[in-house]
Structure 1
Amino acid sequence: MSKVTEVVEELLTPIVTELELELVDIEYVKEGKNWFLRIYIDKDSGVDIEECGIVSERLSEKLDSLDPIPHNYFLEVSSPGAERPLKKEKDYQKAIGKNVHIKTYEPIDGEKIFEGALTAFDGETVTLEVKIKTRKKTVVLPFDKVASARLAVTFS
């Protein structure tokens, strides 16, 4: 985590806690000539634009007073969306029973991309039930080999 995201997380945690929201992720990235500070928040019933606005205003006030970012940037506060990333162990726990899309750092059984129902997570392994044509197969992935994971929207 970069120094900027660490400072922003410290400033943001009391705000989201007070509003009973979950801080999903913080990104601080340069795209072209511009820097973006992206905050992703959520709650069980989903967040709306008003909640995003409140978080943005409160965070902006704190950032303006402390000025931890030395150059201009765009602040964006939003929901992580339907295909929210799974970053923390609790994200995996909450996703049990849901469809997920996982990429690994290296091939496992010749594959680096897995998509299926998350059936178990114990902190060391991620267990999926993947569908291969007409049959289902259980795949167990070492958690430390997971490069990225997100919820996967599926259409029946």
Structure 2
Amino acid sequence: MGRREIEERLFADFEPLARSAGVELLDVEMLSENKMTVLRATIYRPEGITLDDCARAQRILSDRLDETDPIPGSYSLEVSSPGIERVLRRPKEFVIYRGEPCQVNLFAPKDGKRVFEGRLVELAVEPDGGETVVIEVDDEAGRRGKSTGGKSEFKGSNAQVNGRKTEPVPGDRAGGRRLVSFDRKNVSKVKLLYRDERFKKGRN
């Protein structure tokens, strides 16, 4: 069984257990650190994660691992909060963090750029099953309502991505805005951007 398959099985197994502990499971990663296998479970609550939350979830998930023993060899379990510049991996994270500042890094450039910053709008699932990352960026062309030359078009308070209407994200609406979409296959990572003045309890 490959690493990704193990992560998916553990996530499906752990998710209801985490909810029973009063937290939401964001992700499970199997990592190699100092030649040791580490299972890292990331948990979330809107009001913030405490040490007690981590300890409670750790006990529940550790007991489950003792029952199922899903990984051959020795490993350790870590339970942690998301951190302030989290890289988003799972669809549920794009829902939880909608409207938050983020950075999108690309494998191949779009409009001559590999890095874009804006507010997270959504991870859209297209009719063919593909996924599209959508962010909202400041833009003079957006304020004038002109086409951006890509897949996104800003029209007043709403916008369209690939012909699908998308509601504006929460936040300061001053100035021009436009939506920019990226084929997820070309996205190397989507990272939250939290600076000191924007730090929120739910992300610590």
Query: Taking structure 1 as reference, are residues 44 and 65 closer, same or farther at Cα in structure 2, changes over 3 Å only?
Result: same
Q: Deviations over 1:99-131 (max 9, x none)?
A: 10111221111211122233x336134133158
CA RMSD of aligned residues (A): 2.5
In the alignment, which residue of structure 1 is the partner of 2:190? 149
Which amino acid in 2 is paired with 1:87?
A: R
TM-score normalized with structure 2 length? 0.65
In the alignment, which residue of structure 1 is the partner of 2:202? none
In the alignment, which residue of structure 2 is the partner of 1:121? 122
Query: 1:42 aligned to 2:44?
Result: yes
Q: Which has the larger radius of gyration?
A: 2
Secondary structure at the counterpart of residue 29 of structure 2: strand
Displacement of 1:53 = 0.9
Determine the C-alpha separation between the residues in 2 that align with 1:34 and 1:111.
38
In the alignment, which residue of structure 1 is the partner of 2:91? 89
Displacement of 1:154 = 2.9
In the alignment, which residue of structure 2 is the partner of 1:140? 180
Q: Is the 8 A contact 1:117 1:130 kept in 2?
A: no
Identity of aligned residues (%): 30
Which amino acid in 2 is paired with 1:49?
A: L
TM-score normalized with structure 1 length? 0.82
Secondary structure at the counterpart of residue 6 of structure 2: helix
Q: Is the 8 A contact 1:7 1:68 kept in 2?
A: no
Matches within 5 A, 1:1-156: 2-118=4-120, 120-121=121-122, 123=124, 124-130=132-138, 138=178, 140-144=180-184, 145-154=186-195
Determine the C-alpha separation between the residues in 2 that align with 1:44 and 1:83.
16
Q: Is the 8 A contact 1:23 1:40 kept in 2?
A: yes
Unaligned runs of 5+ in 1: none
Query: Taking structure 1 as reference, are residues 2 and 97 closer, same or farther at Cα in structure 2, changes over 3 Å only?
Result: closer
Unaligned runs of 5+ in 2: 125-131, 140-174, 198-204
Query: Taking structure 1 as reference, are residues 67 and 22 closer, same or farther at Cα in structure 2, changes over 3 Å only?
Result: same
Determine the C-alpha separation between the residues in 2 that align with 1:105 and 1:139.
20
Secondary structure at the counterpart of residue 2 of structure 1: helix
Query: Taking structure 1 as reference, are residues 90 and 75 closer, same or farther at Cα in structure 2, changes over 3 Å only?
Result: closer
